[in-house]
Amino acid sequence: MSSFVGLPSHPVVVSPQDPLNPLPDNLTESKTVSVWYRGQRTRLTPEDYVESALRAAPDVLVAPCDGQTPRDCSEKRLMKSAARSIEYLDVCLRLMEEKHSGRKTKTTMLLGAVEGGRSRRWRRWSAEKTAERAGELDGFLLDGFFLAEEDEEDLSAVAGLIRDGVAPVLPADKPRMLLGPCSPLAVVELVTAGVDLFDSSFAVSAAEKGHALTFPLTQDQSSSPGLWIDLNESSLYKNDFSPPLKDCACPCCQRHTRAYVCHLLATGELLGSVLLAAHNLHHWFAFFDHLRRSIREGGGDLQQMRERLREAASTNREEDH
Ligand SMILES: [Zn+2]
């Protein structure tokens, strides 16, 4: 699959939900897993989900789960989501066992989903029940948080819940993944709380909005123009012949200007968001290189990184007002 889409060195992850698209509420049913893509869904039994996902031979498979737990849903809904996800996980484990019996190595890593929304009680319950099956799992998905963009209070509540209620229960030697757009500040907070793996949906989502990511990676870049610049703003950028981000080595910044991308966006050319995705993903991966290096060196500069990102976010907020 990864060769087919031209990304042979990248892992393929299959999960029930499209991290880039918010889900409608209250559509969960008791016997099927809703698999979502671009606002539409297909209902699959847990057995059919696993069977069809394994046909794509993904590197990582998220076990079938019920993670449709928006921020305002009830305790009763959270209880059902957690219980149903464990039920589905057991179906999945049985099927995986049948698939892999007699083989020496598994080709697909399996992640168990920890649900429970923002309820300390159900998060803990779900983490404990999923951890009981850790011997058969390769890692965990911390699912169903629906982080609100730019809500620092909510972010610190979620980070606290993961740090105190979930991370201590899960085995330390298996990775924990969180899917969906997370701002760079959210990534730093969540890494500190115990999350290991993220996707790149923030970078792609920014490109689709016409934003070029410009947040600072190092102290030298602390005078950055904010987390991003909005290249839809033709009054600001139509005559700006500098690259989207100074000193960026990506193919977009090496060859094109803010003015050109701004023109592509204004005329509705698909190339505009394609070029921005190339830049944003390059910047996003560079950010993760910095994070990995910082963690290897003991995480001493994470606090400075957090401050730089907060400052960049406030620049964007001031521009909005
Ligand atoms: Zn670039």
- Give the confidence band of 25 by pLDDT, cuts at 50, 70, 90: low
Count of domains observed in the chain: 2
Same domain, 193 and 244: no
- Let me know if residue 121 belongs to a domain: yes
- Let me know if residue 8 belongs to a domain: no
Q: What is the pLDDT of residue 221?
A: 65
Q: What is the pLDDT of residue 137?
A: 95
- Mean pLDDT of the chain, nearest integer: 89
When pLDDT is averaged across residues 113-123 and rounded to a whole number, the result is 94
248: tokens are 């960026």
Judge whether residue 110 has pLDDT over 90.
Answer: yes
Same domain, 302 and 261: yes
- Give the confidence band of 208 by pLDDT, cuts at 50, 70, 90: very high
Same domain, 51 and 155: yes
- Let me know if residue 125 belongs to a domain: yes
- If you search the block for the tokens 């947040």, which residue do you land on? 215
- Separation of CA 38 and ligand 1 centre (Å): 27
Same domain, 239 and 100: no
Q: What is the pLDDT of residue 146?
A: 86
| End residue of a domain, out of 131, 166, 199 | 199
Nearest CA among 308, 142, 145, 296 for reference residue 219: 308
Between 34-43, 68-77, 246-255, the lowest mean confidence (pLDDT) is in: 34-43
- Separation of CA 20 and ligand 1 centre (Å): 22
Write out pLDDT tens, residues 169-200: 999 999 999 999 999 999 999 999 999 999 99
| End residue of a domain, out of 199, 221, 242 | 199
Domain CATH number, residue 193: 3.20.20.105
Judge whether residue 86 has pLDDT over 80.
Answer: yes
Judge whether residue 102 has pLDDT over 90.
Answer: no
- Let me know if residue 4 belongs to a domain: no
- If you search the block for the tokens 């399996």, which residue do you land on? 110
Q: What is the pLDDT of residue 104?
A: 46
Same domain, 58 and 149: yes
- Let me know if residue 3 belongs to a domain: no
pTM (predicted TM-score)? 0.90
- Let me know if residue 7 belongs to a domain: no
Judge whether residue 24 has pLDDT over 70.
Answer: no
Same domain, 176 and 221: no
Same domain, 165 and 77: yes
Domain of 186, in residue numbers: 13-199
CA dist., res. 146 & res. 272, Å (int): 28
When pLDDT is averaged across residues 51-67 and rounded to a whole number, the result is 89
When pLDDT is averaged across residues 23-40 and rounded to a whole number, the result is 68
Same domain, 119 and 258: no
Judge whether residue 161 has pLDDT over 60.
Answer: yes
Between 219-228, 240-249, 266-275, the lowest mean confidence (pLDDT) is in: 219-228
- Let me know if residue 1 belongs to a domain: no
Nearest CA among 228, 222, 184, 236 for reference residue 206: 228
- Separation of CA 275 and ligand 1 centre (Å): 9
When pLDDT is averaged across residues 276-283 and rounded to a whole number, the result is 97
Write out pLDDT tens, residues 73-85: 899 999 999 999 9
| End residue of a domain, out of 155, 170, 199 | 199
Same domain, 55 and 78: yes
Same domain, 236 and 176: no
Q: Which amino acid is at 130?
A: T
- Separation of CA 278 and ligand 1 centre (Å): 7
More confident residue, 264 or 106: 264
CA dist., res. 93 & res. 110, Å (int): 9
- Separation of CA 310 and ligand 1 centre (Å): 22
- If you search the block for the tokens 């179906």, which residue do you land on? 91
Judge whether residue 264 has pLDDT over 90.
Answer: yes
- Let me know if residue 19 belongs to a domain: yes
More confident residue, 259 or 48: 259
Residues of the chain above pLDDT 90, percent: 62
- Separation of CA 170 and ligand 1 centre (Å): 38
More confident residue, 224 or 205: 205
Q: What is the pLDDT of residue 105?
A: 55
Around ion ligand 1, which residues have CB less than 5 A away? 245, 248, 250, 253, 279
- Separation of CA 230 and ligand 1 centre (Å): 14
Same domain, 43 and 189: yes
Same domain, 75 and 165: yes
